[in-house]
Structure 1
Amino acid sequence: MEEHQERRNGGEKEGGQPSRNSGQTGLEPEEYRIDIFEISHRNWIESLRTAEESTRSQSQWPRIPKVPQMLRGTQDFKKFYEPGLISIGPYHHGKPHLHAGEIIKRLCARKFLADSEQDMDALYTKIQSNIEAVRTCYDMIPTNKYDDEKLARMMLLDGCFLLQFFCGQGNENFLRCHQLFFAELDSFMLENQLPFRVLKLIFEGANFKGPVEKKIKKFVTSTLWPERSTSETELEEDEEPSHLLALLRSTLLGRQPEKKEKSSSCQGGDGRSCCPWKKGQKRGFSRSFRNVKELKVAGIHLQPSGTSFLRDVSFNSYFFYGCMNLPPIIVDDFTKPKFLNIVAYEMCPDAPDDYAVTSYVCFLYELIDHADDVKELRSKHILYNCLGSDEDVAKIFNEIGNGLVDPDAYKEVKTSIQKHYDKRGNTWIAEGLHEHFRSPWTIIAFIAAVLILLLTGFQTYFALPAKPK
């Protein structure tokens, strides 16, 4: 048996050529092998053309991606990227630990249909007529488990729940306090999204005033900045978002700055360093400053920006005094999963390519090392700590930013800070002021000493005898 196997293995020479005893000539299999290569090559070219055509003919409904593979192996993946109470869409539908959420969704959906005075069959028909476009929004494998009827029912139930949760009233009748928190958290997870067009299809016939975007933005704004109204934040009326997570991202970032002509200093008319919101690369830039505490010693002080939008970051340099403006933010239990899912979304091919939130997270990661840095941000009313200790806040940003590649959208701001930091004269003056004028009492004592010296000098001058004429 072994000899027979050896003979079979020996029937081909090295390189795949058959022996003379194989009953085939050497020329025929070589030609056959070339033909196969040509056929596979043509198929490969054809597959590229087909992929290009399918991309061009893709539905106008944006895709809802899954979390990138590079993030799926993290230790806390299930905690921050998978829903804990409510499943939205097909990715996590039917999981055993989410069965309680299905009851909540049905109660909320029934309340929404009653308050909006809409017919469920009519809504189902609208979604059913667009079900092929809905399928293109998700990965093929999870959606293939559901036929058109089941997928349309899922979209209708999940859409009615989301609209009731964000736009309706009386949610406390269905959800307790902790359930409200988890439902909101689950609604902004990347793999737990619904196409925004589905929400518009359901909402357009509702007996509610105003478009769905404004109502959901109002809810998101009150969650992010409780002390500010929607009008004060001046939400941008831009193109329709892909889903709720994309809406949350655009609400955090605010208005897109106008493109300016390229210049060496990249400064606006008011002297503020602008931030180019485009894809950046780490090239030729090395910083020596490390955190907020070191910036303060170098004479760079912090103050809140005029808005709470993450794009509103700037730096001004005045001789030995520097001022960096940062947007005020609230840090709570919602902060870490919110930023992690937006960062995961920005890693996906269909997301905006400015990497704005990722750059902001990396910037805070550089500024915050220890609890003292958080304390300084709190004292300047830039950071509102709703977690408890400053150590917890520092740990959150260190964990979020650890391992991220900085797109460096704040490169111009960082460069301006570095130039100010590298001027040793500015640093010496700032260190002297910081060391000797920490409290108002030392400043008062210094002013008193200067006044005493001046008065003593005047007194000595006038006490001198007058010169004879």
Structure 2
Amino acid sequence: MFGSGKHYSMEEQQGRRNVNGERELEGGQPSRNSGQTGHEPEDLKKAEESTQSQSQWRRITKVPQLLRGTQDFKKLYEPRVISIGPYHHGKPHLHPVQMIKPLCARNFLADSNQEIEALYTKIESNIEAVRKCYNKRPTIKYDNEALAWMMLLDGCSLLQFIRRKDLRKFLREHHINFVMQDLFLLENQLPFGVLKLIFEGAKFNDGLTMEEMIKKFVTDNGRLEESTLEIHLEEASHILGLLRSALLGQSQPEQERPPDKKGKSSASQGICGRFCSPCKKGKQRGIRQSFRNIKELKAAGIHLQSSRTRFLTDISFNSYFFRGYLNLPPIIVDDFTKSRFLNIVAYEMCPDAPHDYTVTSYICFLYELIDHAEDVKELRSKHILRNCLGSDEDVAHIFNDIANDVVSTGVYGHVKASIQEHYDRKVSTWIAEVRHIHFRSPWTVTAFIAAVLILFLTGVQAYYSLPGN
């Protein structure tokens, strides 16, 4: 075993066991060179002492049983081309990409100027912490050596995928796209503590740190501006958890559009610490919600506006008596939207996850606004939603499907209550209907003005035609 004080040549490394406990084929174990000595450097000893005393890493659980009966479960929650970690390791359909992991790992080690033996020693010294991160049954079949090699190989490969360097040497373009989807599955995660052990000593010639690369990778996949987000890697649990943090942001900016001090503003607030009720149209705990979609809100004089950021927490409502403005963060809907949202929902249902269920609440909120393609069209026209799927009906189906097995919480309850209050004003609805019927185009406006003018002139003429005038 590496780190035992012995010298291992490339040939000896090739004869060692792989993470399946089998003899490794030639080139199977990644190594930067064959001249590595087995003597532990002083800084490695310090790193071991530091990692051994660190706090317990967060658990990575499997998808909760409540969601395991979901239609298309395998398509939404299980990897298609690459396994990361022990839950799906060794499945036959993942074997082709499994074979290129050593090549990716070798490239990462070479680019980061690190030696495989030192990294293996650090991971092996933390192997009990690694085991506690996963369910016991999937890891019990791997001894410490095999599990440590799995973490090392998967961790180096994952970081190489994050760097997106030289991937086309190993994978075709369509495989790369599916790899990027697989990296954000709940059951396909590595503890961030393992990744930190691997990249904390990395020295890249291009000048970028691994933290910067991870931040760019997560913000790109969250469709966020990198400069608007501060990710605290030391608090991260895994890559999916980082994506969730990126989507939510670190603050909830106030929305003040239109800039009118007389308007009443309702920002998203009121965290619900536990699940409240099934996500159904027109139902929210403590709120008598009668609006069902965007079309009905528009009829009541409530208009959509794009929020100033893409953070899912950036939702607010402003009421101006006759008009209301619902601010929603811009979102891009593509082929991976459903899977990523549902895996974040599954993560929020886990015991060790943050307890605010904000992404779950956001999905329910959109579900309550979107009934038909017309609602999606309105979101597109206001530059709130970008449709990369095809038809607007497809997008409507996406959010209706996502919300089927999701529960509603009180995160946006205050916003919904303010919308309902405005919606209940009959005068607002009446004025909105008048504006919609008589002022929906320049021609109807002209006709209305002409009709009023004719009535006025007719009245004047009748007045002066009366006797005595």
TM-score category, normalised to shorter length: 0.7 to 0.9
Larger radius of gyration: 1
**What per-residue deviation string (whole Å, max 9, x for no partner) do you get for residues 142-193 of structure 1?**
1111011000100011111111111252212222111111101110100000
Pair 1:441–1:237, CA change in 2 (3 A): farther
1:62 aligns with 2:55: no
Matched, 1:191 2:187: yes
Report what 1:273 is aligned to.
Answer: 266
The change in CA–CA distance for 1:182 and 1:269 in structure 2 (over 3 A counts) is farther
1:256 is displaced (CA, Å) by 3.9
2:77 aligns with 81
- 2:108 is equivalent to residue 112 of structure 1: yes
Match of 1:15 in 2: none
CA-to-aligned-CA distance 1:375-406 (integer Å, 9 cap, x gap):
11111110000000111100010000013220
CA contact under 8 A between 1:59 and 1:136: conserved in structure 2?
no
Q: Which amino acid aligns with 2:220?
A: S
Q: Counterparts in 2 of 1:161-310, with a 5 A limit?
A: 161-208=157-204, 209-225=207-223, 229-231=225-227, 233-237=228-232, 239-257=234-252, 271-275=264-268, 276-279=270-273, 281=276, 282-310=284-312
Contact 1:304 1:328 in 2 (8 A): yes
Q: Does 1:425 pair with 2:427?
A: yes
Alignment partners' CA distance in 1, 2:458 and 2:407: 62
Q: Secondary structure at the match of 1:303?
A: strand
> Out of 352, 355, 374, which is 1:353 matched to?
355
Matching residue's letter, 1:274: A
Write the distance in 2 (CA, Å) between the matches of 1:199 and 1:278. 32
The percent identity for this pair of structures is 67
Residue of structure 2 equivalent to 1:37? none
Query: What amino acid does structure 1 have at the position aligned with 2:403?
Result: G
Cα-to-partner distance string for 1:265-324 (whole Å, 9 max, x where unaligned): xxx998421222342645332211000111111110001000000000000111110100
Name the residue aligned to 2:26. Answer: none
TM-score, length-scaled by structure 1: 0.79
Change (3 A) 1:455 1:200: farther
Question: C-alpha deviations, 1:197-238, integer Å up to 9, x for none?
Answer: 11111111112345534322212222332xx6311x333447
Q: Where does residue 388 of structure 1 map in the other structure?
A: 390
Q: Name the CA distance, whole Å, in 1 between partners of 2:359 and 2:225.
A: 22
Residue 337 of structure 1 is matched in structure 2 by 339
| Cα distance in structure 1, aligned partners of 2:372 and 2:87 | 38
Q: Following superposition of structure 1 onto structure 2, how do residues 123-134 of structure 1 map, counting pairs within 5 Å?
A: 123-134=119-130
Q: Which amino acid aligns with 1:161?
A: S
Deviation by residue 1:303-349 (Cα, 9 ceiling, x = unmatched): 10000000000001111101000000000011000001000011111
- Higher normalized helix content (fraction of residues): 1
Unaligned runs of 5+ in 2: 1-52, 254-260, 277-283, 464-468
Rounded to whole Å, the distance in 2 between the matches of 1:168 and 1:357 is: 27
Give, as a single letter, the amino acid of the residue that structure 2 aligns with 1:153: W
CA distance 1:120–1:303, change in 2 (3 Å): same
Q: Is the 8 Å Cα contact of residues 159 and 199 (structure 1) preserved in structure 2?
A: yes
SS at match of 2:235: coil
CA distance in structure 2 between the aligned counterparts of 1:450 and 1:234, rounded to whole angstroms: 54
**AA at the equivalent of 2:130:** V
TM score, norm. by length of structure 2: 0.79
Cα distance change, pair 207–254 in 1 and its aligned pair in 2 (3 A): same
**Paired residue type of 2:89:** H
